Chains A and B, each alone.
Chain A
């Protein structure tokens, strides 16, 4: 934790209320997000118990599995989930824009907007991945008539989409799949630890304590206040359930269901809805709070990358490509990792540029400095065609870690980035630097491109638009020592059978009779 966020947490602890960590909203929020609140069965992997899902906050669709050990009921749940989620995901597929060609890319089509799924916490994000993993290799009766446990149509497709969303969520700054806890913790500091912030109810209690209560009291109540029935008034945000609920309420109801008592299924659905509804409301409330912050200037840029991600998966599905493999081959794994590293650096730079509070943290860390321009001295470079290289002295209270000839960057009003080089410390708190670009082509700098005396400027030691390292070689040029040429066998299957609707190259998972227990 950086010192500035420790201080924010200490302030929150003293005031009894969360304190801001950002003055802008750093994540895109869709006008029509799909909220998904799943519950899972304790001890069973990927056996859903129920879910609230939908785009209308007043009318969530309730899905419930009265007996999670029954495979048919689980499949029915997934089929219903596919009925809600797939039309939503597909509703963005046909509204496209044309991207003009650039040096590296041909003219291409990108979806004008993309669907966004919002869940409660990071475990729910993992659960989306898990649901995707558990369903994308399933086979329908149409795929394989001999399949002993065929899933309803479209379930494998749901799995592929959930996998894509789960995978994309690992890219820093992406917003296709968001969790409410991450959204809130990015923008507010509470007076408790990171671990406790994972509890959505407690976190929200800090950000917005009810009248007459401090954050501590409200969070404490959200964590452990139980009603006369012994159940938590604010059930956990899932996917795991409260063990007390399992043992005292759900187990007897499930026994009634197993005994064939009429109405037991409906009773279970009602019980599950009661456990999920507070979380559903909390997720929507979190988004309300986030919407009160103005959107950061670079958020649209990152959302565009999400739109690209959505578009390319749409294309893969349309082209009939097989589902994502269980494990990435070496080349794709290296590419993903490199992409995420670049995204992380880009995110950090963009958030700092969009938000003075984030920049304050970078300034405290010595990675940027702000101050007033004290002197500007025109100078020219040596060489055949001398170029303007003005020398600027900036007075700052900050203490940047400046090495000899360090590169410096600042954002110009038109959005471009200007570079400079550190020359020397011209006295205490006075940085002398030489501006090296962004001044146009002429002998005289374009107007407004050189700081003037009295201007307030902020220079960073980090790049504003970091690029990844050198590109990786094409898969076919990758030596076998690095896992290439990879997936040769799989590639031929798709190439030979272009008409196959979905060429399943990986076998479905094994099942045992104990799935019924």
Chain B
């Protein structure tokens, strides 16, 4: 699980399917392929190349450009500690040590791709921010490098929101270190206008931080979800010798996946590899959520399309229920208007 997955999970904390499979490190994209509902997204190599070139530019020459954007005085040089170590635990330990030293050092330090750890539902999740800056006063700033542009001072709100949620996860991981002071605003570095020149804005993530904090506590403990599964449930694809072809029958895998209750909403389509599979199931049981998350608010206790239509036609439902009464009126008005066409 990475920060993006965690942010997506925090956006839908009720989804046990996603929570468990992410925590168990299941390759959801591969599972989705075997189920015959492959994920609707991927990354273009053009975007990948461009994103890397941009980050390289931001971090070129001892991160000179990044320091300028952070507001460091001109010709400041920063310490760039080596954080490499074998295994994630080693890298986390190095990062922790480097942060401790840098906080006491009283000068600019930049941690390039540090590794942080966050306990989520009792399982460790490793997180890799693009950079963390330590200022001479000892405060920490999370730096997030993105490849969408800041055009005339403004950027795509959806993308900025996603970046802020992701960065909030890093800030949360820093807070849990138990020492030091992570700033509650992060530096978002993006290309300026149509060029590859970096531009940056500080983004206040206090709101995202409190949302993430609250959602993570709501996450059902993974153990609880696992305990509810029948003995021997596995998402193993039984890969053939080539390491790619799954030999496990789709029906068997599907049964395993369906042991985990999902909380599907159309928003999942943008962030979860299994969303097509969950959507098909939700459609299969006629759940009104497939029409949009907000729909439930209008419909009160009616959760299935069949019930909605029966209520509208007057064949079912309690006429004293305000949702049922409103549906009947809506149906009558709609029929009247369509009739006079």
Most buried by B among A10, A133, A192, A359: A10
Whether B47 sits at the interface, judged by CB under 8 Å, is yes
Asked if residues A364 and B292 are in contact (CB atoms below 8 Å), the reply is: no
Known contacts A10-B305, A193-B266, A360-B333; is-contact A43 B44 (Cβ 8 Å) = yes
CB-CB < 8 A to B53: which residues of A?
A: 514, 517
Whether A11 sits at the interface, judged by CB under 8 Å, is yes
Stretch at the interface among B92-100, B107-115, B188-196: B188-196
Give the residues from 178 to 198 in chain A that come closer than 8 angstroms, CB to CB, to chain B. Answer: 191-196
Asked if residues B292 and A515 are in contact (CB atoms below 8 Å), the reply is: no
Measured between alpha carbons, how far is A512 from B60 in the docked complex, in Å?
A: 15
Known contacts A3-B326, A244-B42, A514-B196; is-contact A14 B309 (Cβ 8 Å) = yes
Whether B215 sits at the interface, judged by CB under 8 Å, is no
Known contacts A23-B337, A224-B40, A515-B195; is-contact A10 B288 (Cβ 8 Å) = yes
CB-CB < 8 A to B151: which residues of A?
A: 45, 130, 133
Measured between alpha carbons, how far is A193 from B292 in the docked complex, in Å?
A: 5
Asked if residues A509 and B195 are in contact (CB atoms below 8 Å), the reply is: yes
Known contacts A13-B305, A364-B330; is-contact A223 B42 (Cβ 8 Å) = no
Whether A140 sits at the interface, judged by CB under 8 Å, is no
Known contacts A6-B291, A10-B308, A357-B334; is-contact A246 B57 (Cβ 8 Å) = no
CB-nearest residue of chain A to B192: A510
**Residue in contact with B291 in the complex, picked from A45, A133, A193, CB distance below 8 Å:** A193
CB-nearest residue of chain B to A326: B152
Whether B283 sits at the interface, judged by CB under 8 Å, is yes
Asked if residues A43 and B47 are in contact (CB atoms below 8 Å), the reply is: yes
Contact with A along B138-151 (1 / 0, CB 8 A): 00000000011101
Measured between alpha carbons, how far is A251 from B46 in the docked complex, in Å?
A: 8
Measured between alpha carbons, how far is A330 from B308 in the docked complex, in Å?
A: 48
Asked if residues B152 and A6 are in contact (CB atoms below 8 Å), the reply is: no
Asked if residues A3 and B46 are in contact (CB atoms below 8 Å), the reply is: no
**Residue in contact with A23 in the complex, picked from B45, B283, B309, B341, CB distance below 8 Å:** B341
CB-CB < 8 A to A3: which residues of B?
A: 298, 326-327, 330
Known contacts A43-B47, A357-B334, A514-B57; is-contact A224 B291 (Cβ 8 Å) = no
CB-CB < 8 A to A244: which residues of B?
A: 42
Asked if residues B40 and A511 are in contact (CB atoms below 8 Å), the reply is: no
Measured between alpha carbons, how far is A267 from B41 in the docked complex, in Å?
A: 26
Most buried by B among A3, A195, A251, A511: A3
Asked if residues A42 and B46 are in contact (CB atoms below 8 Å), the reply is: yes
Whether A342 sits at the interface, judged by CB under 8 Å, is no
Whether A454 sits at the interface, judged by CB under 8 Å, is no
Measured between alpha carbons, how far is A42 from B288 in the docked complex, in Å?
A: 35
Asked if residues B147 and A7 are in contact (CB atoms below 8 Å), the reply is: no
The main secondary structure of chain B at its interface with chain A is helix
Asked if residues A42 and B47 are in contact (CB atoms below 8 Å), the reply is: yes
CB-CB < 8 A to A4: which residues of B?
A: 330, 333-334
CB-CB < 8 A to B81: which residues of A?
A: none
**Residue in contact with B337 in the complex, picked from A6, A9, A223, A356, CB distance below 8 Å:** A356
Known contacts A1-B294, A224-B276; is-contact A44 B195 (Cβ 8 Å) = no
Whether A41 sits at the interface, judged by CB under 8 Å, is yes
**Closest beta carbon of chain A to B315's beta carbon, Å:** 13
Asked if residues B49 and A517 are in contact (CB atoms below 8 Å), the reply is: yes
CB-CB < 8 A to A360: which residues of B?
A: 333-334, 336-337
Measured between alpha carbons, how far is A23 from B337 in the docked complex, in Å?
A: 8
Asked if residues B38 and A224 are in contact (CB atoms below 8 Å), the reply is: yes
Contact with B along A476-517 (1 / 0, CB 8 A): 000000000000000000000000000000000111101101
Whether B299 sits at the interface, judged by CB under 8 Å, is yes
Asked if residues A6 and B295 are in contact (CB atoms below 8 Å), the reply is: yes
Measured between alpha carbons, how far is A517 from B46 in the docked complex, in Å?
A: 11
CB-CB < 8 A to B149: which residues of A?
A: 45
Known contacts A8-B334, A517-B49; is-contact A511 B269 (Cβ 8 Å) = no
Asked if residues A196 and B338 are in contact (CB atoms below 8 Å), the reply is: no
Contact with B along A449-489 (1 / 0, CB 8 A): 00000000000000000000000000000000000000000
Whether A418 sits at the interface, judged by CB under 8 Å, is no
Give the residues from 208 to 250 in chain A that come closer than 8 angstroms, CB to CB, to chain B. Answer: 216, 223-224, 241, 243-244, 246-247
Whether B267 sits at the interface, judged by CB under 8 Å, is yes
Most buried by A among B48, B295, B309, B330: B330
**Closest beta carbon of chain A to B271's beta carbon, Å:** 12
Measured between alpha carbons, how far is A515 from B193 in the docked complex, in Å?
A: 12
Known contacts A46-B194, A224-B276, A246-B45; is-contact A11 B329 (Cβ 8 Å) = no
Asked if residues A134 and B283 are in contact (CB atoms below 8 Å), the reply is: no
Asked if residues B294 and A512 are in contact (CB atoms below 8 Å), the reply is: no
**Closest beta carbon of chain A to B149's beta carbon, Å:** 4
CB-nearest residue of chain A to B332: A397
Give the total of A residues in contact with B, Cβ under 8 Å.
Answer: 56
**Closest beta carbon of chain A to B48's beta carbon, Å:** 7
Measured between alpha carbons, how far is A510 from B288 in the docked complex, in Å?
A: 50
CB-nearest residue of chain B to A195: B266
Whether B270 sits at the interface, judged by CB under 8 Å, is yes
CB-CB < 8 A to A191: which residues of B?
A: 290-291
Asked if residues A7 and B191 are in contact (CB atoms below 8 Å), the reply is: no
Asked if residues B333 and A11 are in contact (CB atoms below 8 Å), the reply is: no
Measured between alpha carbons, how far is A246 from B267 in the docked complex, in Å?
A: 25
Asked if residues A43 and B312 are in contact (CB atoms below 8 Å), the reply is: no
Measured between alpha carbons, how far is A3 from B332 in the docked complex, in Å?
A: 13
CB-CB < 8 A to B40: which residues of A?
A: 223-224
CB-CB < 8 A to B283: which residues of A?
A: 13, 216
Contact with B along A403-425 (1 / 0, CB 8 A): 00000000000000000000000
CB-CB < 8 A to A246: which residues of B?
A: 44-46
Asked if residues A327 and B46 are in contact (CB atoms below 8 Å), the reply is: no
Whether B197 sits at the interface, judged by CB under 8 Å, is yes
**Closest beta carbon of chain B to A217's beta carbon, Å:** 11
**Residue in contact with A42 in the complex, picked from B44, B197, B270, CB distance below 8 Å:** B44
CB-CB < 8 A to A23: which residues of B?
A: 337-338, 341
Whether B136 sits at the interface, judged by CB under 8 Å, is no
Whether A166 sits at the interface, judged by CB under 8 Å, is no
CB-nearest residue of chain B to A190: B291
Whether B340 sits at the interface, judged by CB under 8 Å, is yes
Whether B286 sits at the interface, judged by CB under 8 Å, is yes
**Residue in contact with A243 in the complex, picked from B42, B49, B312, CB distance below 8 Å:** B42
Measured between alpha carbons, how far is A361 from B298 in the docked complex, in Å?
A: 14
Measured between alpha carbons, how far is A133 from B338 in the docked complex, in Å?
A: 44
CB-CB < 8 A to A45: which residues of B?
A: 148-149, 151, 191, 193-194
CB-nearest residue of chain A to B51: A43
Give the residues from 295 to 341 in chain B that come closer than 8 angstroms, CB to CB, to chain A. Answer: 295, 298-299, 305-306, 308-309, 312, 326-327, 329-334, 336-338, 340-341
**Closest beta carbon of chain A to B145's beta carbon, Å:** 13
Apart from A14-B306, A514-B196, what are 11 other A-B pairs with CB-CB below 8 Å? A4-B330, A7-B330, A13-B286, A23-B337, A133-B151, A133-B152, A224-B38, A359-B337, A360-B334, A360-B336, A517-B53
Can you spell out 24 A-B residue pairs with CB atoms less than 8 angstroms apart? A6-B288, A6-B298, A7-B331, A9-B291, A9-B295, A23-B337, A41-B46, A42-B44, A43-B50, A43-B51, A45-B191, A193-B290, A224-B37, A224-B276, A246-B45, A356-B336, A357-B338, A359-B337, A360-B334, A361-B333, A364-B326, A397-B332, A512-B197, A514-B53
Top 4 A-B residue pairs of the complex, sorted by shortest distance between their CB atoms: A43-B47, A43-B50, A514-B196, A42-B44
A interface residues (Cβ-Cβ under 8 A, vs B) = 1-4, 6-11, 13-14, 20, 23, 41-46, 130, 133-134, 191-196, 216, 223-224, 241, 243-244, 246-247, 251, 326-327, 355-357, 359-361, 363-364, 397, 509-512, 514-515, 517
